[in-house]
Amino acid sequence: MADLEINIGGRSFMVACQEGEEHFLRTAAAMLDAEAQPLVTQMGRLPESRMLLMAGLMLADRTASVEDQLRVLKARVEELENQPAPAPIKVEIPVIPPQIPETLAEIAARAEALARKVEEKLAQ
């Protein structure tokens, strides 16, 4: 067990915790102190139990609010996950530009005309 000194609302407390858990205890104590400091500033010196009770209740209220938001967001995520996938969007991309068939038809006509001329000259 590790003994740790924490400060909440300007008061020091010795608290024991498991080895390796010191960081979590310091973080929790800092959160509780952040709620206690405004109380001490607004109300002056409070009895220790009242200060800790009020700070704990304020922290619990904030936690309950976050849990409510989390519950709403989880429900929304579940709703979105249960929706059928949207139909794929069909996108048509022309492989052959529209002017190519016209150009090819023109080339074919020219080739046929040349072939006729060649045949005519060979026939003479």
Contact residues for 18 (Cβ-Cβ < 8 A; gap 6+): 1, 2
Burial of 9 (0-12, 13-18, 19+ CB in 10 A): buried
pLDDT by position in tens, the chain (length 124) = 889 999 999 899 999 999 999 999 999 999 999 999 998 888 888 898 998 999 999 999 999 999 999 999 999 999 999 999 888 998 887 777 778 888 999 999 999 999 999 898 888 7
